[in-house]
Amino acid sequence: MVAGGAERYRAVGHRVVTGFLQSEVLDVLAALDRAQAGLGVSGSVAEIGVHHGKLFLGLHLLRKHGESSVAIDLFGDQELNIDSSGNGDLAKFRANVALWASDEGLVVHQGDSTALTTDALLGLAGSGIRFFSVDGGHTAEIVHSDMRLADATLVDGGVVVADDVFNQQWPGVATGTLRYLDDGAGLAPFAIGFNKVFFTQPEFCERYRTALEVAFGPRLRVATSHSTFAGHEVTLLLRQGAVDLLRRSELARTTYHRSYRGMVRALRSLSGRS
Ligand SMILES: C[S@@+](CC[C@H](N)C(=O)[O-])C[C@H]1O[C@@H](n2cnc3c(N)ncnc32)[C@H](O)[C@@H]1O
pLDDT score of 226: 96
Residue (of 70, 55, 72, 136) closest to 103 by Cα position: 70
Give the CATH class of 5-240. alpha beta
Q: How confident is the model at residue 57 (pLDDT cuts 50, 70, 90)?
A: very high
pTM of this prediction?
0.91
Residue 241 pLDDT: 78
Residue 131 in this model has a pLDDT that exceeds 70: yes
pLDDT digit string (tens) for 241-271? Answer: 777 666 766 777 788 788 888 888 888 888 8
Q: CA distances (Å), 150 to each of 7, 45, 211, 221, 253, in order?
A: 26, 11, 22, 31, 45
Nearest-CA residue for ligand 1 atom 16 is 137
Q: What is the pLDDT of residue 2?
A: 55
The better pLDDT of the pair 59, 244 is held by 59
What's the average model confidence in pLDDT over 151-176? Answer: 98
pLDDT on residue 221: 86
The pLDDT tens digits for 15-30 are: 999 999 999 999 999 9
Which of 89, 135, 142, 173 for a ligand 1 pocket mutation test, highest count of atoms within 8 Å of Cβ?
135
49-58, 164-173, 252-261: least confidently modelled range: 252-261
Ligand 1 centroid – CA 78 distance (Å): 10
DSSP the chain: --TTHHHHIIIIIHHHS-S---THHHHHHHHHHHHHHHHT---EEEEE--TTSHHHHHHHTTPPTT--EEEEE-TT-GGG-TT------HHHHHHHHHHHS--TTEEEEES-GGG--HHHHHHHHSS-EEEEEE-S--SHHHHHHHHHHHHHHEEEEEEEEEESTT-TT-HHHHHHHHHHHHTT-S-EEEEEETTEEEEE-HHHHHHHHHHHHHHHTT-TTEEEEEEEETTEEEEEEEE--HHHHHHH-HHHHHHHHHHHHHHHHHHHHHTT--
Each residue of 68-127: pLDDT tens digit? 999 999 999 999 999 998 899 999 999 999 999 999 999 999 999 999 999 999 999 999
Contacts of residue 227, defined as CB under 8 A and 6 or more positions apart, other chains included, come to: 192, 233, 234, 236
- Looking at residue 258, its pLDDT comes to 84
Q: Which residues line ligand 1 (CB under 6 A)?
A: 19-21, 48-51, 54-55, 72-74, 81, 85-88, 112-114, 135-137, 142
Of 60, 74, 116, best ligand 1 pocket probe by most atoms within 8 Å of the beta carbon: 74
pLDDT at site 171: 98
Q: Identify the residue whose C-alpha is closest to ligand 1 atom 23.
A: 136
Lowest mean pLDDT among 3-7, 35-39, 69-73: 3-7
Q: What are the residue boundaries of the structural domains of the chain, listed by start?
A: 5-240, 242-274
* pLDDT higher than 70, residue 1: no
Ligand 1: which residue has its CA nearest to atom 26?
86
101, 57 in Cβ contact below 8 A? yes
